[in-house]
Amino acid sequence: MKRVMHLMLPTVGLGLALLVWWGASLKVPDLPSPVRTWEESRIYIMEPFVKRGETDQGIALLAYYSLIRVAQGFLLGIVIGTPVGFLFGVSPLITRMFDPLMQVMRPISPLAWLPLGLVLFQKSEPAALFAIAVCSMWPTIINTMMGVRAIPQDYWNVAKVLRLSRTTTFLKVIVPATLPYMFTGYRLSLGIAWLVIVASEMLTGTPGVGGFLWQEYNSLIYAHILLAIITIGIIGFVLDRLMGLAEARLRAV
Amino acid sequence: MAFIEVSGISKSFTAATGTVRPVLRDVSLSVERGEFASIVGAMGSGKSTLLSILAGLTSADRGSVMVGGTTVRGVRSDAAFVFQNYSLLPWFTALENVRLAVEAAFPDLARQAQLAQARHALEQVGLGNALNRRPGQLSGGMRQRVAIARAFATNPEVLFLDEPFGALDALTRETVQQDLVRLCSSAERPVTTVMITNSVEEAILLSDWIVPMLPGPPATLGAPIAVQLARPRSVAQLAHEEDATHVRGHVIATLTAALGGRARRMPAKPDEDPVAPVALATEESR
């Protein structure tokens, strides 16, 4: 019974959402109904890997482009963010030096970073990576920093008493103790990277789910906007879950 | 000169609010090579601070600490430490935890030799079949055995024990205590040990000398009380032995006298020294 409810309740919720969508589509003439959205999007879903044109491609291919871009930007973000987080964690001096700057830079929207990236790199691809990296690294920095600060005094004492070298202390005490926090940071960073990708593709018009969304809006094919939105949501959810699994495995240790 | 020679150390901590809290005042202590000394006192009386200073984890404001004829500045390479809890790294197996200590102490040793030495140390405390378990998979007693194995794996000359049995239940406690006694007596070179504890019973079981810590603040040390009981000792035997009863009474009297002295002193005469009558009592009974 409990199992049935476990499956039933989300299904009911989904059904209600579809109902609201359908109701809204009756009122707003431009909004396609769920059924029409499915019919107009079917070719993208049923032939997910077919490439018909620069932006007219199967949804899986579009998602693949976006994911590659996100992966690059995200990796860049955590490659920079992780060591910076460790540095902030171990050195109160450096934290005090850069904390105000970080607090100011953190709330800046990806839409604001992107033009700066275009100025810096002259091309849309590196500008998009720049925006993703800059926006997504904050949770990694902050969580890594907090993780280092949360290391119990006992572990520092072990390092001191065993007279571990700096390198050994870092690799065998600080990093393992911080790992769960780091992964929380990575999960949040990936979430942000996925948010940024859509915005940056829309602005630069590069092929991908976000680029597709913007192009279909300009071509007045509204059903495809909904297809893109749903795809973005599902991929974001799956990414979060995958990172959550990795995180849970680390915490279990 | 004794192997461990502490003379006139004082230590205060300054709180974030700027108030200075004296913890230790004019503490002196000597422990001969190979002896086991226990510092017994109530929780929060400054025992841990004193042990940290002896071990070189903290520095004193005044006074000096000499071990083996050299002044202590930082943790010595021939010293080992056993903490009350959480001193094992939970992401490593028991074997890796011990090997880490061996590696730090003997960096030139080949990895295989380090592993062998770590394995041997764990076998000594009866954990030969739990080498690859992580601390989370071990009971409290087993964890503390790993910590003791780690301490002895580097063949130390000085051993600092910070309430090593404090987190264990009574039955486990004695078996781990006996492990410690065995390792101390079978070590290749004499091990000089300083333990802090709030258990008089434990101190009698393990020590050659018991040093009562008289609560402050600032705390001071009372005169050492000799525990001249034959070894091996056991908790059951000590419960009946007359000499043990005598030592127990003496230690408890010293500690309670100090407490009483403080209670009397605080409202009435703040300048009266609570240590004096206690020290006198110790001299008499010798």
- Residue A111: which CATH number? 1.10.3720.10
Mean pLDDT of B38-48: 86
Beta bridge partners of A103: none
pLDDT digits (tens, 9 = 90+) for B80-110: 999 887 689 999 999 999 999 999 999 999 9
Establish whether the linkage from the previous residue to A92 is cis, with ω within 30° of 0: no
CA-to-CA distance for A85 and A91, rounded, in angstroms?
A: 10
Return the number of other C-beta atoms located less than 10 Å from residue B164's C-beta. 28
Q: Is residue A202 a part of any domain in this protein?
A: yes
pLDDT score, position B53: 92
Q: How far is A176 from chain B (nearest CA, A)?
A: 7
CB contacts, 8 Å: A155 with chain B: 86, 89
Choose among A85, A184, A187, A74: nearest CA to A131: A74
Confidence of residue B17 (pLDDT cuts 50, 70, 90): confident
Q: How far apart are CA A212 and CA A44, in angstroms?
A: 11
Around Cβ A150, how many Cβ atoms within 10 Å? 12
Query: Within an 8 Å CB–CB cutoff, is residue B33 touching chain A?
Result: no
Q: Using one digit for the tens of pLDDT, what is the confidence trace for A183-223?
A: 999 999 999 999 888 888 888 878 888 888 888 888 888 88
The pLDDT of residue B271 is: 43
Within a domain: A236:
yes
- Please confirm whether the linkage preceding A34 is cis (ω < 30° from 0): no
Task: Tell me what pLDDT residue A77 has.
Answer: 94
* Confidence at residue A1, expressed as pLDDT on a 0 to 100 scale: 67
Which among B254, B203, A155 is positioned nearest to B193, based on CA atoms? B203
Average pLDDT, chain B: 84
Neighbours of A196 (CB within 10 A): 28
* Least confidently predicted of A53-62, A187-196, B66-75, B254-263: B254-263
* Contact map slice: A 86-145 vs B, CB within 8 A: none
* Residue the block writes with tokens 């990936």: A190
The pLDDT, as a whole number, for residue A185 is: 93
B42 has a pLDDT exceeding 90:
no
Closest chain A C-alpha to B91 CA, distance in angstroms: 6
Residue A32 lies in a domain: no
| Nearest chain A residue to B99, by CA | A162
B67 in contact with chain A, both atoms CB, cutoff 8 A: no
Inter-chain residue contact B100 with A162, CB threshold 8 Å: yes
Residue B8 has pLDDT above 60, yes or no: yes
- Output the pLDDT for position A79: 96
On whether residue A43 sits in a domain, the answer given is no
Q: Using CB atoms, which residue from B77, B89, B136 is nearest to A158?
A: B89
Per-residue pLDDT tens digits for B188-208:
888 999 999 988 889 988 999
Q: Is the dihedral of CA A61, A65, A66, A70 positive or negative?
A: positive
User: Does residue B76 sit in helix, strand or coil?
Assistant: coil
Find residues 129-148 of chain B whose CB sits inside 8 Å of chain A: 134, 136
B92 vs A: CB within 8 A: yes
Q: What is the percent of chain B with per-residue pLDDT over 70, rounded to a whole number?
A: 90
Q: SS3 for A49?
A: coil
* Topology at the third CATH level for domain B4-78+156-285: Rossmann fold (3.40.50)
Q: Which residues pair with B7 in a beta bridge?
A: B64
Query: Which three-class secondary structure state does DSSP give residue B210?
Result: strand
Rounded Cα distance between B181 and B143, Å, is 17
Q: Is residue A44 assigned to a domain? A: no
d(CA B60, CA B11): 5
DSSP assignment letter at A48: T
Average pLDDT score over residue span B165-178: 87
Banded model confidence at residue B262, pLDDT cuts 50, 70, 90: low
Which residue is it, tokens 């520092």?
A: A156
In this predicted structure, what is the pLDDT of residue A173?
A: 93
Nearest to B134 by CA among B78, B194, B92: B92
At B2, is the pLDDT very low, low, confident or very high (cuts 50, 70, 90)? confident
Q: In the 8-state DSSP scheme, what is residue B136?
A: G
Which is it for the CA torsion A227, A228, A230, A234, positive or negative? positive
- The pLDDT confidence band at residue B167, using thresholds 50, 70 and 90, is confident
From B178's Cα to the closest Cα of chain A, the distance in A is: 24
Buried b vs exposed e over B258-272: b needs ≥16 C-beta within 10 Å?
beebeeeeeeeeeee
For residue B55, the chain A residues in CB contact (below 8 A) are 161
Residues of chain A with pLDDT under 70: 1, 54-55, 252-253
Measured distance CA(B81)–CA(A45) in Å, rounded: 64
Task: Determine, yes or no, domain membership for A41.
Answer: no
Read off the amino acid at residue B273: D
Nearest residue in A to B74, CA atom: A160
Domain for residue A106, yes or no? yes
> CB-CB: which of B77, B79, B91 is closest to A176?
B91
Beta strands at B225-226 and B209-214: parallel, antiparallel or unpaired: antiparallel
Residues A192 and A81: their CA atoms lie apart, in Å, by 14
Encoded amino acid at A126, one letter: P
- What's the domain count of chain A? 1
Non-local CB neighbours of A238 within 8 Å, separated by 6+ positions: none
Is residue A27 domain-resident?
A: no
Residue-number span of the structural domain to which A230 is assigned:
59-252
Measured distance CA(A65)–CA(A128) in Å, rounded: 13
What is the DSSP annotation of B51-64? HHHHHTSS--SEEE
Tokens, residue B229: 């009981």
Contact: A176, B89; criterion CB under 8 Å: yes
Structural domain spans, chain B: 4-78+156-285, 79-155
Nearest-CA distance B49 → chain A (Å): 13
At B266 the pLDDT is 45
Residue A206's Cα: distance from chain center in Å? 18
Query: Containing H/E element for A130?
Result: helix A124-149
